[in-house]
Structure 1
Amino acid sequence: MILPSASPLTLVLSLAASAAYAVSATGATRTDQTLSRVAVWLAWSLHGALLGWSLWGGERPLFGFAPALSITAWLVGLVYAVEIFVFPQLKTPWVLSSIGAAVVLLTLLFPGEPLSANLSAWLPLHWALGIASYGLFAAAVVHAWMMTRAEARIRIGADGFTGMPLLTMERLTFRFVHVGFLLLTATLIAGFFFGNYLYGSAHAIKWDHKTIFSVLSWLTFGVLLIGRARFGWRGRQAVRVLYMGTGLLLLAYVGSRFVLEVMMGQTL
């Protein structure tokens, strides 16, 4: 546990963002959407300030499995912040706020390792593409979860209104998948063809667990998009494949880094 090494500002921002996320989740479960919306905006702002300080406020940026999850959760929050302008009645998903609080505290415990000064200046762009794809697929998963939950409530005669028409939510879900797939493709191409330049010959892309899971997730998302375009996959069938691809992608970087950092104690 690396909590004692956290700076006072990091500690304050982490606890404040986590508390705001918790208030948002509580407000969402109690249908107090005004309180939930204000709290989630505050949490998202504090979370962004925390990420900015972690990446650029110290001597060298810190990165690892927990910061990757934290950035992903923040990007999903950004998607929600944009959507709330278009659909003012959109309800705050309590699961989104709960995950935000969890990853902020997780990053406080496992802030990652300082990046080597010898890494390529283009490496942050490569990571940005990968993390952006993580964020878009995570946003797709959140929307798919909200959509299937609303459909299940409608089937039993309960209120399934989410603040956004279900067909619109479905279209957004697969738009996120499309763009995420393009970014993941760009990330893999950059890794395969420019790995030596980005990481150096000692750390270039190779057929390890991370690469294998990344390629498997890419193939899964490709099957999902082909299945939807050619065979009209919708509903639970499409959502299951989306969950499967996202799970494989999560194992690719976050899973491998968790094993290396936490279980094996290795650095970046």
Structure 2
Amino acid sequence: MMQMSQLALIAILLYLAIAAILWQQWIRPSKKALSPILLAAPALLLHSGLIGWQVFAVGGVLDFSLPNVASLVLLLVAAILTLAHQSLKSLLLLPPVYLLCAVVITPAMTDSGHYFTNFVGMTGLAIHVSLAVLSYCCMFIAALMAVQVWLIDHRLKHHGPLSGLPPLMVVNRQLSLLLRIGFLLLTASIAIGWYFLEGFFGHGQGHKAILTIIAWLIYAFVLWVDWRVGMSAKRMAIFSIVSASVLTLAYFGSRFIKEVLLSS
């Protein structure tokens, strides 16, 4: 039976190869281009197996260490962007996402730290965490779409080449839709966390809740302005990236310091 480190190495190599192939296909479009779904399927399945091995190893108790959570988030992001690459016009985003997947899988090759969380009898906590992960995935994808919006807008203003890039209005509509979906998920996550979790604003969690609410307020402002008077594609992209950065700091900031910097 193969060791987990060997499976992780295979997944990393697959992701690197797929990123290179798709990048080449984007630079030099061809009618015989390979489907991203077919290319990425082996890596995504192997990545899913690693997640099952690392996170869901013990019944009722999940290992939510920082590398495992990052790996789970990137797996979901990669799967969504791959399966919906035609409707989301996300072909340009796939290579960097696959590279990020290769990076977050790397800790699986070593015996990294653990952060066990017991979900037995904790339905509220399970729903809160699930919604938080889904909302973050949605906002992460929105931030990636925002980078694409900025790139298209920049090339339009400077008369740069647009070959291989989707129309700006299409991507901007998709960005707005992703922000609305992510905002609803984030709102539900905050509400359920506040209702079910006694230590939502305490026990070392206060800064996370405050940063999450700050990110929520930024998203609310963006969506309200866009609904009332409309917001330019560039400005929406900037706000999306800023709010996603705040949300990342809320979810991973303190744990990165504790689990990575202080433990090294």
Amino acid at match of 1:188: I
The answer for the alignment partner of 2:11 in structure 1 is 17
The answer for the alignment partner of 1:228 in structure 2 is 226
- Closer, same or farther: CA 117–28 of 1 in aligned 2, 3 Å: closer
SS at match of 1:115: strand
Q: Does the Cα contact within 8 Å between 1:73 and 1:99 map onto a contact in 2?
A: yes
Amino acid at match of 1:20: L
- Closer, same or farther: CA 172–258 of 1 in aligned 2, 3 Å: same
The answer for the alignment partner of 1:95 in structure 2 is 96
- Closer, same or farther: CA 205–13 of 1 in aligned 2, 3 Å: farther
The answer for the alignment partner of 1:44 in structure 2 is 44
- Alpha-carbon distance, 1:143 to partner: 1.4
Q: How does 1:1-268 map to 2 (within 5 A)?
A: 9-31=3-25, 34=33, 37=36, 38-58=38-58, 60-84=61-85, 86=87, 90-91=91-92, 93-106=94-107, 108-109=109-110, 110=112, 112-116=114-118, 120-162=122-164, 164-196=166-198, 203-206=199-202, 208-265=206-263
How much identity, in percent, do the aligned residues show?
23
- Alpha-carbon distance, 1:159 to partner: 3.1
Across the two proteins, how many residue pairs are aligned to each other?
A: 253
1:131-180 per-position Cα deviation (integer Å, ceiling 9, x unaligned):
00110001111112122223333444443244643322211111111111
In structure 1, distance between residues paired with 2:186 and 2:234? 24
In structure 1, distance between residues paired with 2:170 and 2:184? 21
- Alpha-carbon distance, 1:10 to partner: 2.7
Ranges of 4+ aligned residues in structure 1 off by more than 6 Å: none
Q: Does the Cα contact within 8 Å between 1:22 and 1:98 map onto a contact in 2?
A: yes
Q: Which runs of 5+ in 2 are unaligned?
A: none
- Closer, same or farther: CA 225–162 of 1 in aligned 2, 3 Å: farther
Q: TM-score, normalised by structure 1?
A: 0.82
- Closer, same or farther: CA 209–264 of 1 in aligned 2, 3 Å: farther
- Closer, same or farther: CA 163–247 of 1 in aligned 2, 3 Å: same
Q: Does the Cα contact within 8 Å between 1:191 and 1:205 map onto a contact in 2?
A: no
- Alpha-carbon distance, 1:28 to partner: 3.0
Amino acid at match of 1:125: I
SS at match of 2:143: helix
- Closer, same or farther: CA 161–112 of 1 in aligned 2, 3 Å: farther
Amino acid at match of 2:221: V
Q: Which runs of 5+ in 1 are unaligned?
A: 1-6, 197-202
1:5-35 per-position Cα deviation (integer Å, ceiling 9, x unaligned):
xx95432332222111111222233236746
Q: Does the Cα contact within 8 Å between 2:125 and 2:197 map onto a contact in 1?
A: no
SS at match of 1:61: strand
Amino acid at match of 2:169: L
SS at match of 2:55: helix
Q: Which moved more, 1:243-252 or 1:123-132?
A: 123-132
Q: Does the Cα contact within 8 Å between 2:81 and 2:90 map onto a contact in 1?
A: no
1:110-139 per-position Cα deviation (integer Å, ceiling 9, x unaligned):
463222477724422211100001100011
In structure 1, distance between residues paired with 2:226 and 2:118? 42
- Closer, same or farther: CA 179–117 of 1 in aligned 2, 3 Å: closer
Alpha-carbon RMSD across the aligned residues, in angstroms, is 2.8
Q: TM-score, normalised by structure 2?
A: 0.83
